[in-house]
């Protein structure tokens, strides 16, 4: 099977250029016509956004170009186990709405790390905020690099030219338009992204003989089988994908500054719940389409694997290769696909720039801003931060091609910090007995421990001491290749003697990293808090999740608890005196 090199036609350039033009127009409208002059307007859209556009923005912000390329490739290589995580989107969104979001909404905060400063102290807030900033700074360059690479391969234009041009558009509409520009641009990009996914999915199903034929071909290679073993070192099992990943998704939704910032931009809490519900359903649709596309790709290449035959060099090139294959007879399809990939990447970049500017300003810069500074001046500070963040991320993209084997390590950095973040917020919202000292020590211990596990794991993966062989592939149907005409299977290609296997913690599936980090924070936090009680912190009732407020024993912790209504009443009484 020979695949011709894809070159953009004028249809493709037209679709891609229209996407960039519309994104820029939204930034011009909200930046210069309907200006965002206050920090509330810039960061929260004046808290007047409606549920549907916010939901669309949440979906496209969560689904990056990495998701669109990596999920189909993962399903192609390792089977359907990852799809078991899809139902957990609903439970993660529901827990977020009922247990976590009401606290953030009631306190009317901009950054979720402001809450940690009120619940604990500034040290905890700064620690958690720094974790988020570092994690996103490592993640964003990769988000931009992968679709830029796809566009470069399609057009022949250098990545060094594509990256600054595309990022400039994103920085422009994010900086001058604020959250409203981000959300309304996300809607345009959501339509384009979803359109490209549905189009490729539909064409794939029709050219592969339908759902049943696709499923049967994948079943023959064991890609539809589910592993129910309790071995934590197996990466794709029912327990890792269906159970542990539910904790991961809850972390990504409940304590994600970008998600929370958009949810509290709506007019009321029920509207935020509606946005989360639509977001969960939309995420299910998108991830399912991406995942099943991986099965469709395998049904097409079941007898001529592109990676083994040398048509592509990396697994993440499978989907672009597939689109190139079917796009030869459909003008504009390759442009639609590339625009969809870039739309997802731009949305992730825009949302993260906006929430990073909020986080950095609230948790770091605001300490050096004089009291009484006007809202317009604060808005200008936020815009300058957005430009700085965008330029920094753009510059870091040029480092990514030289990372080599370090790239998987960069992708795994989330496993170091996300668990600690989830554990800190869980202690804050659900465990009144945990104090500032306890949660800070727990967070530091979790960070150090998970860094040791993740870095050690990546080292052994790089040295091939730990491998994750894919399911069987074949090149028996390939034509005009020099490789032997035989079945290639990567299962058990490398057998490492048991005595030489790395320490078991290095071999645990990355799906468990967030759960491990969170449990460490909770366990250590409870012990340290018990051993070093602090009695000088006022704990207000609204600091805690509504699901536990009725169970709090207010006399147990030697601390005064006041509801918001009680505080207002006390304040009015003091003013009368």
Residue 498 maps to a domain: no
Six-digit token string for 255: 């304590």
Please, what is the Cα angle at 218 between 479 and 325, to 5 degrees?
A: 40
Which of the given ranges, 85-94, 348-357, 399-408, 481-490, has the highest pLDDT on average? 85-94
What is d(CA 541, CA 242) in angstroms, rounded to the nearest whole number?
A: 35
Six-digit token string for 280: 């969960």
Instruction: Find the mean pLDDT for residues 547-569.
Output: 56
The predicted pLDDT at position 322 comes to 86
458-485 pLDDT, tens digit each:
888 878 788 778 888 888 877 766 554 4
Q: Is the pLDDT of residue 447 over 90?
A: yes
The predicted pLDDT at position 17 comes to 74
Instruction: Find the mean pLDDT for residues 488-496.
Output: 40
Residue 531 maps to a domain: no
Number of alpha carbons in the 13 Å side-chain half-sphere of residue 106: 17
Question: In the chain, pLDDT over 70 holds for what percent of residues?
Answer: 75
**Cα separations in angstroms, 351 against 61, 180, 211, 454:** 6, 11, 36, 27
Q: Are 470 and 424 in contact (CB under 8 A)?
A: no
Q: List strand residue ranges (DSSP E) for 424-515, in order.
A: 473-474, 487-488
Residue 228 maps to a domain: yes
**Cα separations in angstroms, 313 against 19, 307, 310, 319:** 29, 6, 7, 13
Q: List strand residue ranges (DSSP E) for 468-538, in order.
A: 473-474, 487-488
pLDDT band at 573 (very low <50, low <70, confident <90, very high): very low
Residue 41 maps to a domain: yes
What is d(CA 132, CA 516) in angstroms, rounded to the nearest whole number?
A: 18
pLDDT band at 577 (very low <50, low <70, confident <90, very high): very low
DSSP, collapsed to helix, strand or coil, labels residue 49 as: strand
Q: Are 397 and 145 in contact (CB under 8 A)?
A: yes
The predicted pLDDT at position 142 comes to 76
Q: Is the pLDDT of residue 47 over 90?
A: no
219-233 pLDDT, tens digit each:
988 899 988 888 888
What is d(CA 131, CA 136) in angstroms, rounded to the nearest whole number?
A: 9
Tell which wins on pLDDT, 283 or 492. 283
Tell which wins on pLDDT, 243 or 382. 243
The predicted pLDDT at position 67 comes to 76
Instruction: Find the mean pLDDT for residues 548-567.
Output: 55
Residue 382 maps to a domain: yes
Output the average pLDDT for the chain. Answer: 77
pLDDT band at 58 (very low <50, low <70, confident <90, very high): confident
What is d(CA 61, CA 49) in angstroms, rounded to the nearest whole number?
A: 16
Residue 70 maps to a domain: yes
Residue 418 maps to a domain: no
Q: Is the pLDDT of residue 345 over 60?
A: yes
Q: How many domains does the chain have?
A: 1
What is d(CA 9, CA 6) in angstroms, rounded to the nearest whole number?
A: 9
Q: Is the pLDDT of residue 498 over 60?
A: no
Instruction: Find the mean pLDDT for residues 559-570.
Output: 44
DSSP letter at 5 equals P
DSSP, collapsed to helix, strand or coil, labels residue 474 as: strand
Q: Give residue 143's domain range.
A: 10-402
The predicted pLDDT at position 409 comes to 53
DSSP 283-300: HHHHHHHHHHHHHHHHHH
Q: Please report, for the domain that includes residue 256, its CATH number.
A: 1.20.1730.10
Residue 261 maps to a domain: yes
Its pTM stands at 0.80
């Amino acid at each position: 099977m020979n695949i011709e090199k894809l070159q953009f036609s004028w249809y493709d350039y037209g679709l891609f250029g229209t996407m960039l033009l519309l994104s820029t127009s939204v930034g011009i409208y909200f930046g210069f016509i309907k200006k965002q002059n206050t920090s509330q307007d810039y960061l929260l859209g004046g808290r007047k956004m409606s549920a549907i556009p916010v939901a669309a923005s949440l979906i496209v912000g969560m689904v990056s170009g990495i998701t669109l390329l990596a999920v189909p490739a993962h399903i192609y290589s390792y089977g359907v186990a990852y799809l078991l995580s899809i139902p957990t989107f609903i439970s993660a969104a529901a827990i977020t709405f009922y247990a976590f979001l009401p606290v953030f909404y009631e306190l009317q905060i901009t950054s979720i790390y402001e809450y940690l400063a009120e619940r604990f102290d500034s040290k905890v807030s700064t620690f958690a905020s720094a974790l988020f900033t570092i994690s996103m700074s490592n993640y964003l360059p990769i988000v931009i690099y992968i679709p830029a690479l796809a566009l470069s391969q399609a057009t022949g234009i250098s990545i060094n030219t594509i990256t600054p041009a595309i990022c400039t558009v994103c920085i422009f509409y994010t900086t001058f338009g604020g959250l409203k520009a981000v959300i309304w641009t996300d809607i345009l990009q959501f339509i384009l992204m979803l359109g490209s996914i549905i189009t490729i999915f539909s064409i794939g199903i029709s050219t592969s003989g339908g759902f049943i034929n696709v499923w049967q071909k994948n079943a023959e290679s064991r890609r539809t089988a589910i592993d129910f073993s309790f071995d934590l070192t197996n990466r794709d099992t029912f327990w890792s994908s269906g159970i542990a990943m539910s904790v991961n998704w809850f972390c990504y939704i409940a304590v994600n500054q970008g998600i929370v910032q958009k949810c509290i931009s709506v007019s009321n809490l029920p509207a935020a719940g509606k946005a989360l519900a639509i977001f969960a359903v939309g995420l299910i649709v998108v991830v399912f389409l991406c995942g099943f596309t991986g099965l469709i790709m395998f049904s097409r290449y079941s007898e001529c694997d592109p990676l083994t035959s040398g048509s592509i060099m990396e697994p993440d090139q499978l989907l672009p290769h597939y689109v190139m294959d079917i796009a030869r007879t459909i003008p504009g399809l390759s442009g639609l696909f590339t625009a969809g990939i870039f739309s997802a990447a731009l949305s992730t970049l825009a949302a993260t720039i906006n929430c990073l500017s909020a986080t950095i300003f609230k948790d770091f810069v605001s300490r050096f801003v004089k009291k009484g500074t006007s809202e317009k001046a604060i808005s200008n500070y936020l815009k300058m931060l957005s430009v700085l963040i965008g330029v920094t991320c753009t510059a870091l993209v040029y480092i990514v091609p030289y990372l080599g084997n370090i790239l998987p390590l960069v992708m795994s950095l989330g496993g170091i910090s996300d668990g600690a973040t989830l554990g800190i917020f869980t202690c804050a919202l659900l465990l009144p007995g945990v104090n500032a000292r306890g949660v800070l020590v727990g967070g530091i211990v979790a960070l150090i421990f998970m860094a040791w596990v993740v870095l050690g794991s990546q080292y052994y993966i790089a040295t091939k001491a730990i491998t994750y062989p894919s399911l069987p592939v074949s090149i028996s149907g390939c034509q005009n290749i020099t490789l032997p005409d035989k079945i290639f299977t990567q299962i058990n290609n490398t057998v490492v003697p048991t005595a030489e296997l790395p320490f078991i913690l290095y071999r645990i599936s990355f799906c468990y990293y967030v759960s491990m980090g969170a449990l460490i924070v909770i366990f250590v936090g409870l012990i340290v808090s018990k051993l070093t009680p602090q009695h000088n912190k006022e704990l207000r009732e609204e600091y805690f999740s509504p699901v536990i407020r009725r169970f709090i024993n207010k006399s147990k912790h030697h601390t005064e608890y006041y509801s918001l209504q009680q505080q207002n009443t006390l304040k009015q009484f003091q003013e009368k005196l």
